[in-house]
Amino acid sequence: MLASVGFDIKDVPYRNGLRSAVELARTSRSKCKGQCKETIAADSVRYCTSTEAVNHGSYFYRCLNCITQQQMNHLLELYESLEDCPGMAQLPDGKRQQTIEMMGAVHNTHETEQKGVAKKGKRKASDADLKDKPKETSKRANQKPNKKADNKNVKANQKPEHKKNDTPATKTKKVRYEF
């Protein structure tokens, strides 16, 4: 295992209440908090964020496929480039290049989406659209009538009908036998 790299996220200072780093998973006990929710294999690269609490910190790990654009923006606000990200220097050369490519792809896809497509607002419905659209019926119009609701709407003069029981209502006495 490559656990003896000498990097620990505890060495990274907090910035804006968070500390972020890229590191090799020491064991396969950590789970991705992203969409996949799978365990992160030992010796694979993971993105780690830590939050500051009163007596301890909380750690959140993500595999490289589940890093969000918001996390990338936060990381690039703190550091000038991906190579400056904590833990990147301790990665082996092959994994470092692969990590930079994957994280750069997340950042580049978001930039091209912003440049290429303008946000569309909602189009207001015109009178012609409203005329062509069939009138929607409410769900209550299609439901069966509710008997309880009918009893509530009975006029004050009328008495609601009650169901007749097949057996008469009788009280049974409890008898205590003494021997």
Domain map (residue ranges) of the chain: 3-116
**Helix segments in 14-92, DSSP class H:** 69-78
| pLDDT confidence bin for 18, thresholds 50/70/90 | confident
Q: Tell me what the mean pLDDT of segment 162-168 comes to.
A: 60
- In CATH, 3-116 is 1.10.1660.10: no
pLDDT band at 77 (very low <50, low <70, confident <90, very high): confident
Query: How far is 67 from 63, CA to CA, in rounded Å?
Result: 7
> Which residues are 58's β-sheet partners?
51
Looking at the predicted structure, is the pLDDT value of residue 112 above 90? no
Given a cut of 70, whether residue 130 has pLDDT beyond it is no
Q: What is the pLDDT of residue 24?
A: 93
Confidence check: pLDDT of 29 > 70: yes
The span from the CA of 82 to the CA of 76, in Å, is 7
Q: What is the mean pLDDT of the chain?
A: 76
Nearest residue to 7 (alpha-carbon basis) of 92, 72, 65, 75: 92
Confidence band (pLDDT; 50, 70, 90) for 2?
A: very low
Tell me the range of 93-97, 119-123, 141-145 where mean pLDDT is highest.
93-97
